[in-house]
Structure formats: C-alpha cells, structure tokens
Amino acid sequence: MPEKFKAQASQIILVFIVFLLFVCNGTGLLEIQFQANSGLSFHSLLFNTGVNQGFGLPPVIYSTEFVILIFSGIILSLLLPILNPIQASLLTAACSILPIFPAYTTTSNSLLPLEFSLLTILILYAVNVLISYFKETVAKQKIVEVFGQYIPPQLVAEISKHPGQLNLDGESKYLTVFFCDLQNFTGVSEQLNPKQLARLLNEYFTAMTEILYSHGATIDKYIGDSIMTFWGAPVSQKDHALRAVLASLEMQNEIALLSESFVKRGWPGPSMGIGINTGMMNVGNMGSKYRITYTVVGDAVNLASRLEGLTRNYHVL
C-alpha cells in the first residue's frame, strides 16, 4: 500500500477513535476517570442493567439526535482526512446543520443537548486539523533533512511548500549534468602532507559548492576531487543548461583565484576540467537497503563524464 494511503488510513482511524471516546464519555456509555492511586481508568456503562432498564442500553441511544450525531461522526471521520481544507470546512459546516433540525422541530426535551453535538463535530474538525498539521510538519522536516545536504536552501524551502509534488521514485527527465575535477590531482597530492591536502580540498569544495548553489544546482556527490551535480530536479528549471554554463564560467574564475592563494602558501596551484551535457536521464532515489542517494544515471550522464575526462587530453578547461 502506498505511503500516502497508509497515512490517510491511520488518520481516519485516529479521528474515529477520538470521536468514539468523546461520544461515549459524553453520553454516559463510557466513564473515563483519573485517580491519583490507580491512574486513568475506564468504566463501561453500556450494559449496566442496574442503572438502565430493558437491555441496559441508555435511553439516549434511541434518540434521533444520537443517530444523527453517530452518522455525522462517521462521515467526518472517513472524509476529513482525505479532503482539502476548504472541502473539510464545508463538510463540517454541513454536518453542523444536521443536529439543528431535531432540536427545533421536537417539542419534548432532548436527551442529547444540541451544544454537545455541535461541540463533538467541532472537536473532530480540530483533531483532524491538528493531525494534518503535524503530518505536514513532519513531511517538511523530512524533506529538509533529505535534501538539505545537497541542494541550495532556497530550493529546499520551495520543495517544502509543496511536498506532495515531489517525486523520488524515479523518472525520466530532460536535465543538465555537470562534472568537474582538479587536473593532475595525483601530482598535487604528492606535494602535500595529509593535513594540507585536506585543507586544500575543503577550500576547493566549499568555494565551488557555493557557486553551484548560487546557480540552483543539486549536488549529486563528491568523488575524490571531483564534483558531480545536475540541474532540473528535484525542482524543475527551464534554464538548467544556461545555469550550468554560467556556473562553470564562474567556477573557472574562482579556481584561478584559489590557485593564486595556494601558490602563495607554497602549495601547487591546480587547474580544473569541466564536462557538461544536456539530455534525457533517469533521476530519483537509487541505491541499496543500506544506503540510498538522489542521483541521475543514463547515457547523457556518461557523456558528460567522458567530456570532463577529455579536458586532460586536449589541455582545455
């Protein structure tokens, strides 16, 4: 069963349980008491023949008001979790009208006050709103945790506003993928001790990632000294190819400045090769039960990687 339907089914059950407990306690079918010694206790009066006549059913059960309340409660419990806020509000208003008719068309005193029926319906609506708000908050927080490490904060905020539109199951999309790495990195690493190498890579990754983030890129992964990233997912971007080109130009300027600062410290000044390609590729959560990542695969991705590798052969950036 899809997660969405599981969540809706759980919400329906929870709302219905709240409805039953409130109605049973309010009409005398169930007494809920809290005592200092024994804690919370439940006492069912449903078949208490010492108090009630006949089969022991309280007289309120036979009233029209009670039947209308049960009918309204079942309808609200089933439909509120699957309706949008406007539809849920209209349904609640309609169900609130139903108990009014017997209250004003019957001359005898009602065993179930109109106020109790309206309060029960209002509580059902409030409980559903609270559960929906909690679910939405949890969903947004999960999105922030999942994507916060490899996409810009502004994209995380945009996704969290519409979590239902997010598709992580895998799909084929027209995207732009980007690879870059430091040329002659083996020679660079041989001239530095481990601490210096770690510092160089950290400064390089930080500077390049800031530029990629500023152009709305999704960071796929860091592979040694390489960065793999793409545009157009999980948030659609019509100008994803242009974003990739502008980011690459800015990154080339930045790597030149970094190299100058590295040389001043007595370190080698590396250069960087970049490969970009736009085409159809598969994007989504991929991996194993032990580890999973949001990534892209396909021939278009492989071509971008090969283009980046060819920059060493042709001595271009």
Q: What is the token pair recorded at 311?
A: 């920059």
Q: If you average pLDDT over residues 219-227, what whole number do you get?
A: 91
Per-residue model confidence as pLDDT tens digits over 91-120: 888 888 888 877 666 655 666 777 888 888
Q: Which of 248, 245, 238, 170 is nearest to 211 (CA)?
A: 248
Q: How confident is the model at residue 18 (pLDDT cuts 50, 70, 90)?
A: confident
Q: What is the token pair recorded at 81?
A: 């979790």
State CA 161 to chain mean position distance. Answer: 9
Q: Is the pTM of this model over 0.85?
A: no
Provide the phi-psi class of 300: left if phi over 0, else alpha when psi is between -120 and 50, else beta: alpha
Q: Topology of domain 153-314, per CATH? A: Alpha-Beta Plaits (3.30.70)
Q: What is the 3-state secondary structure (H, E, C) of 186-222?
A: HHHHHCCCHHHHHHHHHHHHHHHHHHHHHCCCEEEEE
Per-residue model confidence as pLDDT tens digits over 147-193: 666 566 666 666 666 665 566 667 899 999 999 999 888 888 899 99
DSSP for residue 297: E
Q: How confident is the model at residue 47 (pLDDT cuts 50, 70, 90)?
A: very low
- When comparing pLDDT for 3 and 296, which is higher? 296
Q: How confident is the model at residue 196 (pLDDT cuts 50, 70, 90)?
A: very high
Look at residue 254 in the predicted model and tell me its pLDDT.
Answer: 95
Domains of the chain by residue range: 3-145, 153-314
Q: What is the token pair recorded at 214?
A: 């500023």
d(CA 304, CA 176) in angstroms, rounded, equals 9
- When comparing pLDDT for 136 and 300, which is higher? 300
Contacts of 215 (CB under 8 A, 6+ apart): 231, 243, 244, 246, 247, 250
69-83, 130-144, 186-200, 301-315: least confidently modelled range: 130-144
222 φ, ψ (degrees, to nearest 5): -105, 125
60 close to 27: Cβ distance less than 8 angstroms: yes
| Burial zone of 51 (CB within 10 Å; 0-12 exposed, 13-18 middle, 19+ buried) | exposed
